[in-house]
């Protein structure tokens, strides 16, 4: 029974056939697939960067410099990580625009549209936390501004700012909190939601085709 369930899930993700209209190259250039490729590149290069990065306020920036100038091929992997992150933001935005213009958010696909919108929000937060991990002067000011703005959200702002950014006073805990969000919590949530997103796309017959 368990094996049948796994086979069923696999067949939903990789069905025996794909509608011809979904397989045809069009002006969209497989934006969702390209975004997924950038996400996987982020996972791979990020795992390599973790070998040299040190999440503390005194060592974060020097460790980034070591990656760039002393680690073997460190500048290559860091640049790939940086540009893949920027491309991920652009591709997800363009993907959302395409979904809107083609009406792919209409019933019964409205839940998948919501999942995509939440994923877009997570992509923004993931990109921003990565920017803060450099911990140079600009990152410190960005952290201060973002934390103060979050702290002023009505009702739950203080608690949310504490969970996302750590205590108001800058310390190693602040950077460790950002590091945990960037390398573990957000990627895990995004991977789960992307899997659900793809599963629903396959189950609902593809994207931008007649229902």
Average pLDDT score over residue span 87-113: 89
- Domain residue spans of the chain: 31-203
Output the furthest CA–CA distance in the chain (Å, rounded).
Answer: 57
pLDDT for the residue 206: 62
Q: At which residue do the structure tokens 């591709």 appear?
A: 91
The residue ranking higher by pLDDT, 73 or 199, is 73
Mean pLDDT over the full length of the chain = 87
Among 3.40.50.2300, 1.10.274.10, 1.20.810.10, 1.10.220.10, what is the CATH number of 31-203? Answer: 1.20.810.10
Structure tokens given for 210: 């007649």
- Confidence check: pLDDT of 110 > 50: yes
pLDDT by residue (tens digit) across 166-190? 888 899 999 999 999 999 999 999 9
- Confidence check: pLDDT of 15 > 80: no
pLDDT by residue (tens digit) across 48-67? 999 999 999 999 999 999 99
pLDDT by residue (tens digit) across 19-46? 666 556 565 668 888 999 999 999 999 9
* pTM for this predicted structure: 0.85
Residue whose C-alpha is closest to residue 203's, from 33, 9, 1, 22: 9
pLDDT by residue (tens digit) across 112-146? 899 999 999 999 999 999 999 999 999 999 999 99
Under 8 Å between Cβ of 89 and 127: yes
Residues 6 or more apart whose CB falls under 8 angstroms from that of 45 comprise: 77, 78, 80, 81, 84
């Amino acid at each position: 029974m368990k094996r049948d369930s796994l086979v069923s899930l696999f067949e939903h993700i990789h069905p025996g056939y794909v509608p011809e209209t979904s397989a045809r190259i069009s002006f969209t250039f497989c934006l969702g697939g390209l975004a997924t490729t950038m996400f996987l590149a982020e996972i791979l290069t990020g795992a390599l960067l973790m070998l040299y990065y040190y999440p503390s306020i005194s060592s974060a920036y020097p460790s980034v410099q070591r990656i760039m100038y002393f680690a073997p091929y460190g500048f290559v992997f860091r640049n790939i990580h940086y540009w893949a992150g920027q491309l991920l933001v652009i591709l997800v935005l363009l993907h959302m625009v395409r979904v809107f213009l083609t009406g792919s958010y209409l019933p019964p696909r409205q839940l998948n549209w919501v999942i995509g919108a939440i994923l877009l929000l997570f992509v923004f937060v993931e990109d921003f936390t990565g920017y803060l991990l450099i911990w140079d002067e600009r990152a410190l000011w960005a952290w201060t501004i973002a934390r103060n703005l979050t702290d002023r959200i009505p009702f739950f702002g203080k608690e949310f700012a504490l969970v996302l950014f750590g205590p108001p006073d800058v310390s190693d805990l602040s950077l460790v909190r950002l590091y945990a969000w960037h390398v573990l919590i957000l990627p895990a949530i995004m991977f789960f939601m992307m899997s659900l997103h793809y599963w629903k796309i396959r189950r609902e017959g593809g994207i931008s085709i007649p229902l």
